[in-house]
Amino acid sequence: MQTAANIFSRRKFWAARFGVAPQLPMSREEMEALGWDSCDIILVTGDAYVDHPSFGMALIGRLLEAQGFRVGIISQPGWTSAEDFKKLGRPNLFWGVTGGNMDSMVNRYTSDRRIRSNDAYTPGGEAGKRPDHCVVVYAQRCRESFSDVPIVLGGIEASLRRIAHYDYWSDKVRRSVLLDAKADLLVYGNGERQVVEIAHRLAAGEPISQLTDIRGTAFLRKEIPDHWTLLDSSHVDVPGKLAPTANPYGDGTSTCVSRPAPLLPEQAVIRIHRSPAKTEREHTVIRLPAYEGVRSDPVLYAHASRVLHQETNPGNARALMQRHGERELWLNPSPLPLTTQEMDGVYGLPYSRLPHRSYGAANIPAFEMIQHSVTLMRGCFGGCTFCSITEHEGRIIQSRSEDSIIREIEAIRDTSPAFTGHISDLGGPTANMYRLACKSREIEASCRRPSCVYPGVCKNLNTDHGPLIRLYRRARALPGIKKIFIASGLRYDLAVLSPEYVKELATHHVGGYLKIAPEHTETGPLSKMMKPGIGTYDRFKSMFDQYSRAAGKEQYLIPYFIAAHPGTTDEDMLNLALWLKKNGFRADQVQAFLPSPMATATAMYHSGKNPLHKVGRNSEDVYVPKPMKQRRLHKAFLRYHDANNWPMLREALQRMGRADLIGNGKHHLVPRYQPAGTGDATEGKRVHRKAQPFRTQQTDLPLSPKKPQKSGKRPNR
Domain boundary among 175, 192, 216: 216
Both 46 and 68 in one domain: the answer is yes
Task: Kindly report which listed range (264-273, 296-305, 558-567) carries the lowest average pLDDT score.
Answer: 264-273
Count CB-CB contacts under 10 A for residue 419. 15
Q: What is the pLDDT of residue 700?
A: 30
Both 246 and 205 in one domain: the answer is no
pLDDT grade, residue 208 (50/70/90)? very high
19: alpha, beta or left, given left = phi > 0 and alpha = psi -120 to 50?
Answer: left
Rounded distance, CA 423 to CA 139, Å?
38
Domain contains 345: no
Domain contains 488: yes
pLDDT grade, residue 266 (50/70/90)? very low
User: Residue 369: what are its φ and ψ, rounded to 5°?
Assistant: -75, -35
Rounded distance, CA 641 to CA 630, Å?
18
Domain contains 190: yes
CA angle, 409 then 410 then 415, to 5°:
105
Burial class (CB in 10 A: 0-12, 13-18, 19+), 340: middle
pLDDT grade, residue 282 (50/70/90)? confident
Rounded distance, CA 454 to CA 600, Å?
15
pLDDT grade, residue 617 (50/70/90)? confident
**Residue 470, domain CATH:** 3.80.30.20
Count CB-CB contacts under 10 A for residue 494. 25
CA angle, 362 then 368 then 374, to 5°:
140
pLDDT at 261 over 80: no
Q: What is the pLDDT of residue 215?
A: 97
Rounded distance, CA 165 to CA 168, Å?
10
Domain contains 355: no
**Residue 83, domain CATH:** 3.40.50.280
Q: What is the DSSP letter of 643?
A: G
Amino acid at 494: L
Both 200 and 263 in one domain: the answer is no
Domain contains 524: yes
Both 531 and 503 in one domain: the answer is yes
pLDDT tens track for 304-356 = 999 999 999 999 999 999 999 999 999 999 999 999 999 999 999 999 999 99
Both 286 and 402 in one domain: the answer is no
Domain boundary among 282, 305, 331: 331
pLDDT grade, residue 548 (50/70/90)? very high
Both 35 and 183 in one domain: the answer is yes
pLDDT tens track for 123-154 = 999 999 999 999 999 999 999 999 999 999 99
Q: Are 158 and 99 in contact (CB under 8 A)?
A: yes
Burial class (CB in 10 A: 0-12, 13-18, 19+), 595: buried
Count CB-CB contacts under 10 A for residue 512. 17
In Å, how far are 27, 78, 229, 318, 330 from 275, measured between CA atoms? Answer: 53, 50, 5, 16, 19
* Integer-rounded Cα radius of gyration of the chain: 26
Both 444 and 580 in one domain: the answer is yes
3-state secondary structure of 106: helix
Domain contains 654: no
Both 470 and 598 in one domain: the answer is yes
Best CA proximity match to 432, nearest among 381, 362, 370: 381
Q: What is the pLDDT of residue 238?
A: 65
Both 295 and 415 in one domain: the answer is no
In Å, how far are 78, 89, 92, 469, 508 from 146, measured between CA atoms? Answer: 16, 9, 11, 52, 55
Q: What is the pLDDT of residue 1?
A: 64
Both 291 and 400 in one domain: the answer is no
Number of H helices, E strands in the chain: 24, 23
Both 573 and 471 in one domain: the answer is yes
Best CA proximity match to 291, nearest among 180, 159, 173: 173
Domain contains 73: yes
Give one DSSP letter per residue of 133-170, joined into a string: THHHHHHHHHHHH-TTS-EEEEHHHHHHTSSSEEETTT
Best CA proximity match to 567, nearest among 386, 391, 717: 386
Rounded distance, CA 159 to CA 106, Å?
14
Structural domains counted in the chain? 3
Question: Strand 697-698 relative to strand 377-378: parallel, antiparallel, unpaired?
Answer: unpaired
CB hemisphere CA count around 16 (13 angstroms): 11
Domain contains 395: yes
Rounded distance, CA 207 to CA 530, Å?
44
Which H or E run contains 178?
A: helix 177-181
Domain boundary among 305, 331, 357: 331
pLDDT (average), residues 74-83: 97
Domain range spanning residue 263?
229-331
Q: What is the pLDDT of residue 634?
A: 97
Both 433 and 463 in one domain: the answer is yes
pLDDT tens track for 61-70 = 999 999 999 9
